[in-house]
Amino acid sequence: MKTRLSWWVYLVLGLGIFGYQWWSLRPTHQPDFQFDGPALVIHGGAGVITRENMTPAMETLVRTSLERVLDSGYAALARGESRMDVVVRVLGMLESDSLFNAGIGAVVTAEGQAELDASVMDGETKQAGAVAGLQHILHPAALAREVMMHSDHVFLVGAGAEAFAQERGMGLVPNDTFLTHRRHAQYAAWAEQHKRGTVGVVVRDAQGHLAAGTSTGGMMGKRWGRVGDVPVLGAGTYADDAGAAISCTGHGEYFIREAVAYQVNAQMIWGQKNLAEAAHYTLFEVLNADAGQGGLIGLDAEGHAVMTFNSPGMYRGAKGVEVSSKTGVPTRYVGIYGE
């Protein structure tokens, strides 16, 4: 009896270890892209996004929105807008769409207010700007760009950030501008839903230079001035022409602890991994070991793109002319589930 019991214990332990390794090494639901020339990749948040909890009408809305943003961003790149202008343009569109947890439609704090965070970074110059705890700024990513370009600082928060915004000619809006009816209904049941989400973009211009940006309303029901990974450079956003432009989404506390966006770059620069290997390792080995869930998008200077996640789904898309293209016609991809 004791021998039989021991055999079952070893079997269960073995299956558990195998199952964990399978989870950590399973394919990362995305096509492989390498773009030639300007390209962009976007995300609209990762989490428990499945066909079972998505109506056909909502899926159509999300896909249409992502396609519209990709088309606008790519057209701007193709006509020569700067990579940082395109980052702010794309994030501004996503911040204006109540489908996503950024800007209008952001989730609310435990006090029922919207508090917004954002960051942007240039991969060639390593210049960056970040803002957090905003309650009256319609487009946080645009303010992060202003911090980057027109202040002596990198990271501004709360009332000080909003005072700087006014100095730069950006108006303030009432906090209820961000609170859509859909989010109010969600707020009533926030304890059950624990909604998290983010929007982000990574860009490669025609010269191969990179840029990244991320914007969010943060975690549903957050308290005490909580700030997540999005405005923390190296955690939620990072760009380096020597590595990659990265934008993250997920449970921010874990992304901060593991410095996920920077870690992908470090794995490339110091660990000699390619972008896909570095993204997979960071999410499926490092973040999984810490029980963190989410995803990231990335572009490197050679045009390789990733949309990697360890959650059931991630709103995501990419557009650019593939290296393998014989026609020069841009490819546009949009995904939602773990495909």
Q: pLDDT digit string (tens) for 46-95?
A: 988 889 888 899 899 999 999 999 999 999 999 999 999 999 999 999 99
Determine the topology of domain 31-337 in CATH.
Glutamine Phosphoribosylpyrophosphate, subunit 1, domain 1 (3.60.20)
Give dist(CA 59, CA 68) in Å, integer. 14
Where do runs of H (alpha helix) occur along 244-336?
252-258, 260-269, 275-281, 288-289
Question: For residues 203 and 76, is the Cβ–Cβ distance under 8 A?
Answer: no
**25, pLDDT greater than 70:** no
Active site (catalytic) residues? 198
Residue among 137, 136, 138, 118 nearest 128 (CA): 118
**3, pLDDT greater than 60:** no
Chain segment 214-273, per-residue pLDDT in tens: 999 999 889 999 999 999 999 999 999 999 999 999 999 999 999 999 999 999 999 999
Rg (the chain; Cα; Å): 20
Arithmetic mean of pLDDT over the chain: 89
pLDDT band of residue 181 (cuts 50, 70, 90) is low
Strand pairing class (331-337; 313-322): antiparallel
Chain segment 84-121, per-residue pLDDT in tens: 999 999 999 999 999 999 999 899 899 999 999 999 99
Residue among 283, 205, 206, 284 nearest 239 (CA): 205
- Residues 6+ positions from 292 with CB-CB distance below 8 Å: 250, 251, 253, 254, 255, 257, 258
CA 176 to chain CA centroid, Å, is 24
Torsion of Cα atoms, 322 then 126 then 169 then 89, to 10°: 10
Indicate if the alpha-carbon torsion angle 312, 238, 68, 102 is positive or negative. positive
Q: Where are the domains of the chain?
A: 31-337
**8, pLDDT greater than 50:** no
Residue among 237, 235, 303, 234 nearest 87 (CA): 237
Q: What is the mean pLDDT of residues 292-315?
A: 96
Strand boundaries in the chain, DSSP class E: 33-47, 116-122, 128-134, 155-157, 199-204, 210-216, 237-239, 244-250, 294-300, 304-309, 313-322, 331-337
Q: Please classify residue 111 by burial: count the beta carbons closer than 10 Å to its beta carbon, then call 0-12 exposed, 13-18 middle and 19+ buried.
A: exposed
CA 300 to chain CA centroid, Å, is 16
Q: What is the mean pLDDT of residues 288-300?
A: 92
Amino acid at site 322: E
Q: What is the DSSP string of 89-122?
A: HHHHHHHT-TTSSSSTT----TTS---EEEEEEE
